[in-house]
A = this chain, B = another copy of it.
Amino acid sequence: MTDPIQQQLITARKNQILDAAARVFATKGFHAATIKDVASDAGIAAGTIYNYFENKTALLFAIFERMRDSRQALTTFAELQPDDVRGFIRAFVATPLMSLHSDYLDLFRVVISEIMVNEELRALYAQQIIGPTLIIAEKWFQTWIAQGLIKPIDTGLMVRTLSSLILGLMVQKLIGDELLQTRWESLPDTLTDLIMDGIRGET
Digitize A161-191: 1 where CB-to-B-CB distance is under 8 Å, 0 elsewhere. Answer: 1011111110110111101100100110011
Q: How far is the CA of A45 from the CA of B166 in the complex (A)?
A: 45
Of residues 9 through 68 on chain A, the ones whose CB sits less than 8 Å from some CB of chain B are 29-31
CA of A77 to CA of B164 in the docked complex: distance in angstroms?
25
- How many copies are assembled? 4
Known interface pairs A160-B179, A165-B168. Does A150 touch B114 (Cβ–Cβ under 8 Å)?
no
A198 → B minimal CB distance (Å): 4
Residue A153 at the chain B interface, CB threshold 8 Å: yes
A199 and B158 contact, CB distance less than 8 A: yes
- Looking at A85, A165, A196, the one whose CB has the most chain B CB atoms below 10 A away is A165
Contact between A175 and B122, CB atoms less than 8 A apart: yes
| A151 touching B199 in the complex, CB below 8 Å, given contacts A156-B179, A166-B168 | yes
A80 CB-CB contact with B under 8 Å: no
